Amino acid sequence: MLRRCTLAVALLALMGIVAFAQNEDKGNFSAGLETNTTYYFNDEKAGAIAPDGRMGSNNYLKMDYSWKGFYAGMQLEGYYPPLLGYFSGMGLQAEMFTRYDIYAGYNAGGWDIRLGSIYEQFGNGLLFRTYEDRTLGINSAIQGVKVGYTFGDFLTIRGIYGRIRDIREYTSNFVSGVDVSLSVSRAAQWENFDWTIEGSVLDKYEPVGQSSNPSVKAHTPGYSVRTALGYGGFRLSGEYMSRRSDPGMYNMMDTTRSQAIQVDFGYTGYGFGGLVTFRKLHNPFLQGSRNSNDICTYINYVPALTQQHTYSLATLNPYTTQSDEMGGQADLYYNFRRGSVMGGKKGMKVHANFSTYYGDITNYVTGEVNNKLLFRDLTVDVERWFGSDFKLILFYTWQTYNHAPSSDDPSSIWKSHTVVADMTYKFDRKNSLRLELQHLFTKQDHKNWAAALLEYSFAPRWSVSVQDMWNYGDTKTHYINGSVSYSYSKVRAALNFGRFKEGYLCSGGVCRITPAYTGINLSLIVAL
């Protein structure tokens, strides 16, 4: 009933506001179309198997309208069928389906009201977060109502209630919650000191169904408390989350209470910036449906707090958050000023990151619980312009990755060193050439890799590139691919073709496994 009511209200509001705009010529309308389509080939050398029909296509159409404080919109998504790797845990890769979001709301005068599809986050997201990430195929919006109000500029209260999505449709599971944020410093009118106190409560309701496990409850209540202090360039923040366990397939029927603590300390000033983070987790994940086992259906956000690498060889074995982990990272950077000896004409950026995580791992043969290294990464990179036409980035990372933490076999620890030289030469304001050279040294996994990329840009419209990843240490396989992209006004089209390695695709600290494939991919983005 809630689903029908919210959809009907949101759709009527959208139709009414658009009709008003047409009659009165008021308001703003925007729309965007995105399509990503791949034609697959069988490739025995790469281990790539084309799906039935050889095609995959993800498509998104989004329309929004706003007038004064009112807004309304809708998003249609079509998967005909999904690209390989999307929704793999839900068994939907061979199915064609369409899903939609419709919403309307009001945001003015301190009010924040929304009906229909809702994206919301409490704190860091450890307790609750719904969001969209098309790279990963995530759209965890709930369908219901959100009401928020800000008193002055120091107190904000938000409440949400809605039905939880399960990829294609909304389920009979509901989530409800309240979040409160108080700025003590604004209320007290302190000028140089910032202090906020926040708290959230949340409950997920899911019928017990046929489960005979007494630990499975219909309600999964939880809470989060947070605070943040700031003075000058310093900032200290912390969050503690606790929630009743929701035993299910995704957490191996863990009946222990979910808990998380995260502390961040940062400083920015005089060309220097730094952030140190500590986090400890136990059974932190929350699925919208306890029998789901896919990243697309989580309703909280527990990303890996490590360096998010962009170079291909540095991302071969990224860290993914574990159910039991303790560790953190330190992220530091310094900008040498322009005109200084080190900075040169355009300045120089130096960045370093160190992260390490340990976990309580149960050996299912002996029953022992051991605290083991899960991941460690030390990264240093330097970026500097030489004159006005040549930029050089030097990058190094040393990674230690435990690919089988429950094993006592020393070979489960993979160590690698990756070096990158990324060079860009600008011929003039429109034409530039970029050369990227990478090498990964390791004695484990598939041993050594080399990679190279050459890209020519005809700004602002054309770009062409060719790249190769070569595993010369073991498989002797080349992963060669190329791309051509074109941009004009609000249209961008890109054609990619070649062989792509099986591995991980990550966004914002969340990763999904992508199977190896060989094919031709066309992506098109149009904005109105």
Q: Which residues pair with 105 in a beta bridge?
A: 71, 114
Query: At a CB cut-off of 8 Å and minimum separation 6, what does 358 contact?
Result: 325, 326, 327, 371, 372, 373, 374
The per-residue pLDDT for 4 is 47
Burial 58-78 (b: 16+ CB within 10 A, else e): bbbbbbbbbbeebbbbbbebb
Contact (Cβ atoms closer than 8 angstroms) between residue 465 and residue 276: no
The per-residue pLDDT for 149 is 98
Q: Is residue 221 part of a domain?
A: no
Query: Mean per-residue pLDDT for 512-527?
Result: 95
Q: Which of 160, 122, 117 is nearest to 142 (CA)?
A: 117
Query: Mean per-residue pLDDT for 31-58?
Result: 94
- pLDDT tens for residues 4-22? 454 455 455 555 555 555 5
Token pair for 371 = 């605290």
> With 0-12 CB in 10 A as exposed, 13-18 as middle and 19+ as buried, what is 377?
buried
Rounded Cα gap, residues 397 and 417, in angstroms: 6
Q: Is residue 469 part of a domain?
A: yes
The per-residue pLDDT for 212 is 72
Q: Is residue 242 part of a domain?
A: no
Rounded Cα gap, residues 480 and 338, in angstroms: 39
Q: Which of 323, 316, 311 is nearest to 357 (CA)?
A: 323
Query: Mean per-residue pLDDT for 400-412?
Result: 85
Rounded Cα gap, residues 248 and 461, in angstroms: 50
Contact (Cβ atoms closer than 8 angstroms) between residue 335 and residue 270: no
> With 0-12 CB in 10 A as exposed, 13-18 as middle and 19+ as buried, what is 388?
exposed
- pLDDT tens for residues 281-315? 999 999 999 988 889 999 999 999 999 999 999 99
- What's the CATH number where 462 sits? 2.40.160
User: Comparing 32-46, 171-185, 210-224, which segment has the lowest mean pLDDT?
Assistant: 210-224
- By DSSP bridging, strand 28-41 and strand 219-231 are unpaired
Tokens 């034609």 correspond to what residue? 39
Q: Is residue 193 part of a domain?
A: no
Q: Is residue 395 part of a domain?
A: yes
> In what helix (H) or strand (E) does residue 83 lie, and over which residues does it extend?
none
C-alpha distances in Å from residue 402, one per residue of 339, 438, 510:
45, 23, 18
Q: Is residue 55 part of a domain?
A: no
Q: Which domain holds residue 309?
A: 304-507
Residue 197 has pLDDT above 90, yes or no: yes
Q: Is residue 78 part of a domain?
A: no
Query: At a CB cut-off of 8 Å and minimum separation 6, what does 46 contact?
Result: 477, 479, 499, 500, 501, 516, 517, 518
Sign of CA dihedral 14, 20, 23, 29: negative
Q: Is residue 56 part of a domain?
A: no
Query: Mean per-residue pLDDT for 397-412?
Result: 88
Residue 368 has pLDDT above 80, yes or no: no
Query: Mean per-residue pLDDT for 337-346?
Result: 84
pTM (two decimals): 0.91
- pLDDT tens for residues 69-123? 999 999 999 999 999 999 887 778 788 999 999 999 999 999 999 999 999 999 9
By percentage, how much of the chain surpasses pLDDT 90? 78
Burial 486-523 (b: 16+ CB within 10 A, else e): eeeeeebebebbbbbbebebbeebbbbebbbbbbebeb
The per-residue pLDDT for 363 is 62
Q: What's the domain count of the chain?
A: 1
